[in-house]
Copies of this chain bind each other. A is one copy, B any other.
Amino acid sequence: MAMPAVAVEPKVFKPEVPPDWCPGCGDFGVLNGLFQACAGLGLDPAGVLVVSGIGCSSNLPGFFRSYGVHSLHGRALPFATGAKLANTSMTVIATGGDGDGYGIGLNHFIQAMRRNIDVTYIVMNNEIYGLTTGQVSPTSETGMKTKTTPLGNLEGMLNPLALALASGCGFVARGFSGQPKHLTDLYTQGIEHKGFALIDVFSPCVTFNKVNTYPWFRERVYKVEDTDHDPADFHAAMDKALEWDERIPIGLVYRNPAPRPSIDALDPALQGEALVRQGYTIAPDTRQDLIHEFM
């Protein structure tokens, strides 16, 4: 797909169907940022595939005008990987929630980073299971009371940024849906990054998470771009990833200055035309060679 460098109108990506998220849900901001970023990059909706799992957040492809897939809970990344490998000319964006990506889908998340597939992964991290109406999530804070932890969560809180760094991810960022411009910027860089890009987004669930609310985040988040943080420094990035206190960093936490090529750039079968545009036939002499291996 030829990517016109000319920006288009964000409304190009707005479908007729309006989102049915709860009024005030953080996911609206996530979606708006994506309209902006794709428009800014001048993407053609027909050249974009958005793949999600299952969850409130995973309803996003239904509210975005492009090709889309609303797949299975936890399986957005494998689906997106297969799709990208089959058609490397598409811009592939995977989206979902914390339960989807860091709970049931965690193995795929880590391996996708290790594999380094050229997919931008946007996780709407509300630290709760929204669609199923308020159960504990791997990213729920220790001690948090939810429908399934009435006495408080006894488990540790999963740290997606630290895991991403430990998994060799070349682009690790965190945004906040209350800061839409900043978010758009992170998306833009993530989509442009050749290889797996993680954008974890604080996207408050106004209905079921009464702790990590908009004000809660507003009080705490600060942009690493406003500090002397060097996103090329792995150790500094790990420090940022571990910061979870009165101050919580958002922004581009890490970008590998010498990133490994993505798997789609390495696989010999993918260096010519996209697979979907290749013919089905194998030349008769190749066929003969294959047969002779059996003789």
Complex CA distance for A158 and B260, rounded to whole angstroms: 14
From residue A52, how far is it (CB to closest CB) to chain B in Å?
19
Complex CA distance for A241 and B165, rounded to whole angstroms: 12
Which residues of A, 105-154, contact B by the 8 Å Cβ criterion? 106-107, 110-111, 113-116, 138, 151, 154
From residue A61, how far is it (CB to closest CB) to chain B in Å?
24
From residue A42, how far is it (CB to closest CB) to chain B in Å?
31
| Chain B residues closer than 8 Å to A115, beta-carbon distance | 155-156
Which residues of A, 136-185, contact B by the 8 Å Cβ criterion? 138, 151, 154-159, 162-163, 165-168
* Residue pair A263, B155 in contact (C-beta under 8 Å): yes
A235 at the interface (CB under 8 A from B): yes
* Residue pair B166, A162 in contact (C-beta under 8 Å): yes
- The 8 A CB mask of A215-250 against B (1 = contact, 0 = none) is 000000000000000000001001001000000000
Contact A154/B263 with A138-B114, A166-B163, A238-B238 known, Cβ cut-off 8 Å: yes
Option from B106, B156, B157 in Cβ contact (under 8 Å) with A106: B106
- CB nearest to A152 among chain B residues: B266
Complex CA distance for A163 and B106, rounded to whole angstroms: 12
| Chain B residues closer than 8 Å to A16, beta-carbon distance | none
Residues of chain A whose beta carbon lies under 8 Å from any beta carbon of chain B: 104, 106-107, 110-111, 113-116, 138, 151, 154-159, 162-163, 165-168, 235, 238, 241, 260, 263, 266-268
